[in-house]
Structures are given as C-alpha cells and as structure tokens.
A = this chain, B = another copy of it.
Amino acid sequence: MSEVKTASSRRPLRIAIFGFGTVGSSVARILTESKPEQLELTHVFNRNVARKKADWVPGSVTWSEDAGAVLASDAEVIVELAGGLDPAGAWVRKALASGKSVVTANKKLIAFHGVELERLAAANGGHLKYGAAVAGGIPVIPGIEHGLAGDRIERMEGILNGTCNFILSRMEEGAEYADVLKDAQARGYAEADPTEDVGGFDARAKLAILMRLALRAEVDPGQIVPKAITEVAAIDFSYARELGCTIRQIARAGRQIARAGKTNGALAASVGPALVGLRSPLSWSRGTENMVVLTGKYGGDVVFSGHGAGGHPTAVAVVSDLVALASGSKRVEIPAEKAEIGAEFEVPHYIRFLVKDRPGIVAEITAALAREQINIRAIAQKAGYPANALPFVVTVEPCKASALQRALAGIRRLDCMIAPPLDLQMLE
C-alpha cells in the first residue's frame, strides 16, 4: 500500500461505491452516520443515478453513471457491490491494475477468480479485501486470517446461505416449501429466480472461499456439485425429528488424514440439505442466520454465528475492511495450494422413498443397497399415508455418496417408485 493511503498520513481514504443497492446504500449510511475518521465517501456509481440519489448522502459525493470515469478518478478504493462475474470483474481488474485497492462482497468473483485478483493487487501495490463475501456481518474471514492462522484447520461445516436457512427453518415449523419461498421472495430474502440460492451455488462459492483460507486449498468451485433444497418436503422434517434431527443446508469440507509421505490428505466437499442433530449448534440457526463451525487440529471447534446477509450486516464487513485498509493493516498471508476434490465424506445417509405400496419393496431396496455393501441402520414408516403414495425412510450406516448413488440408480427404476428417492447426508 502506498504511503498516502496509510493511517499515519491521516488523510482520509477516498472511497467510491460501485452499486447503490441494499448493501451499497448501507455502506454509505454507515460512512455518513458513524463518520470513521479515516474514510471519506467521494463517488457513487450506479445506473440511473436520478432514481438512486439519496438526500442524506453528503453533497460532496459525486454521483455517476460512468464506471470508467469513476475508475479514472482520484478515489483510492473501489467498493464493488454490483455482484456477479460481469461487468464487476472488469471493474475490479481495472481498479487493481491501476494500483487502487478493492473491497468487495462478491463471492462469485472471489470464488472463481480470487487468486488471480490477489496477484493483480499485489503486483500493483493495492489490496483486495472481501470480508463481506462470506457470512456477511460475521467476521469469519478476518477470524481465520488474524485469529486462526496459527492452527491447522481440518474441517468446516457451515450454514452459508440465509435464504435456504430461512426456508428450511420455516419448514421445520410446518410450512411447505412453495409457500415459504413465496414469502421469502415477498420479504426480499429470495430472488425472483431463486436457483442461485436454493440450488446451492451461492453457498458453494462461499465454501470455496473458506476452503482456500481455512483448508489452504485452492479449488475450482465447479468441482463441487451442489444439491438443491427443492426436493425436501414437510414429511422429511417429521422423519428428521423422529431421528433427533432437523434439516439445514450445509456446506462442508474437510481433509482426510494424510497418507504417509503426503503433507495434505485428500479433500472432500459438499453442499446441500442435510440432517443435523438437534444438539448441534447448526440446528439452532433460525431465519436468515449464518453459522460456521471450524475444527482445528490444535484449537478444536470454533463457532461463529450471526446475521450473514442483509444490507447492514454486510455493510459492517465492508466498512471494517475499509477501516483496516485505512489503518495500513495488511492481509495475513495464508499459503494455499491448488487442489482437487479427491475424496468423499463417508457419513450415514437418510433416504426417503415415495412408493405405490405392494409386497416386496423393502426386500428389493435392501438388496440393492446390500449389493453396494451399504448397511441399513433403520427403517421407519409413519402411519396415516395412502398406500398409493406412501412415504417411508431408510437410514444407512456411513457410506460414500457415489456408492449410494449407484444403488439408488437401480432402486429408482423399480415400478413402485412414484418419485425419485431423496437422499440426505446425516451429520454426526
């Protein structure tokens, strides 16, 4: 960071916000109300400025619809809050290439291009900070960088998507998926096309970012195939409760124990709905809360929770990154290596079937599982459902998802199956 930007010079850091939506206006609100002494909002870029302009923003701020002009201005830090890969990525690259620093909440950009962008920042004397990209207002990224870099983190489990958590924690109370989704959309918690959230893509990007910092593994997020929460039904919450569990969207990653001669064990990672025990902190999250559990070799479990989304919490992370930049604080260098997802979790699974009842179904299912060496743990069937659309549940002992998928590929072809079976990891 060049000298003019450090705290010692006491000239405020000149800040341009790109994107005056929920988060962008919250950042401006905090800068205007709290007036951190080393920070000065100088520019706001947005399309259709006339519609966005807010009277509480100081008159000294330049509003602009011209991204290039703001990138060429004397603003020293670009706060990128537009999201998505384009054109946000182009703006960030241009800012970094010209020696400016960038603070962003853009998980997708950082998950797919973070390593390249950090190199670009370092090569040009600027900094790239993205504390807001994962878990919004919860300081997970600063916590890992500044407080856990001395540990060797072996695995992590997280609730990283507030939309999914809102939907699933409401379904736990008895609501149906479609109704809660509609409510989430009305409240602004879910997009008109909710695929990015409910499909697990948002959580996957955040998991990939955490894997680089916590597990020190640079992975291609595309290697993690997320499972959508859309197939989870009210009946699954009722079976889950019988098993002492509830259902949450869980993003998790871990290293297997390294084999002799290898420094690092193979990586496993997954994103999707999973059964979590009611005694696990992960089951306690409600509404749009986020939660991350990191397990270190030396420090054991550390849990972070709070508001992972929303304008104000995310803006807190952005402004905190700006305060750190103004203090001349550098990011802690955590070494990471390119890595493949080369392993699978071996965990118990919950499998819910929906069948047209006839004799022999359980025998056929258990035989198919046995052919893949998968052991049954329990079979449960609640009373009160019609024989022509009968749900029942099989739980199995720890097995790889790939073995289970092979077994289920045969099972779903049985004539009695009226819907594809739903299989969920059970966290233990």
Asked if A302 is at the interface (CB within 8 A of a chain B CB), the reply is yes
Min C-beta distance of A80 to chain B, whole Å:
16
By a beta-carbon cutoff of 8 Å, the part of chain A in contact with chain B is 7, 26, 30, 34, 36-37, 131, 136-152, 281, 284, 296, 298-307, 312-313, 315-324, 327-333, 335
What chain B residues lie within 8 Å of A34 (beta carbons)? Answer: 150, 152
- Of all chain B residues, the one with the shortest Cβ separation from A137 is B299
Complex: A296 Cα to B310 Cα, angstroms: 14
- Of all chain B residues, the one with the shortest Cβ separation from A302 is B306
Complex: A14 Cα to B323 Cα, angstroms: 30
Complex: A281 Cα to B304 Cα, angstroms: 12
Contact of A151 among B37, B284, B316 (CB under 8 A): B316
Min C-beta distance of A283 to chain B, whole Å:
11
- Of all chain B residues, the one with the shortest Cβ separation from A150 is B319
Complex: A146 Cα to B327 Cα, angstroms: 10
The 9 nearest A-B residue pairs measured at CB: A139-B147, A150-B319, A142-B146, A137-B299, A142-B147, A150-B320, A302-B306, A139-B143, A299-B316
Complex: A322 Cα to B150 Cα, angstroms: 8
Complex: A17 Cα to B122 Cα, angstroms: 33
- Of all chain B residues, the one with the shortest Cβ separation from A291 is B303
What chain B residues lie within 8 Å of A151 (beta carbons)? Answer: 30, 137, 316, 319-320
Complex: A330 Cα to B326 Cα, angstroms: 11
Min C-beta distance of A153 to chain B, whole Å:
10
Complex: A317 Cα to B296 Cα, angstroms: 12
Asked whether, in the complex, the Cβ of B304 is within 8 Å of the Cβ of A36, the reply is: no
What chain B residues lie within 8 Å of A296 (beta carbons)? Answer: 137, 316
Complex: A233 Cα to B332 Cα, angstroms: 47
- Of all chain B residues, the one with the shortest Cβ separation from A298 is B312
Asked whether, in the complex, the Cβ of B327 is within 8 Å of the Cβ of A330, the reply is: yes
Asked whether, in the complex, the Cβ of A312 is within 8 Å of the Cβ of B299, the reply is: yes
What chain B residues lie within 8 Å of A148 (beta carbons)? Answer: 137, 139, 316, 320
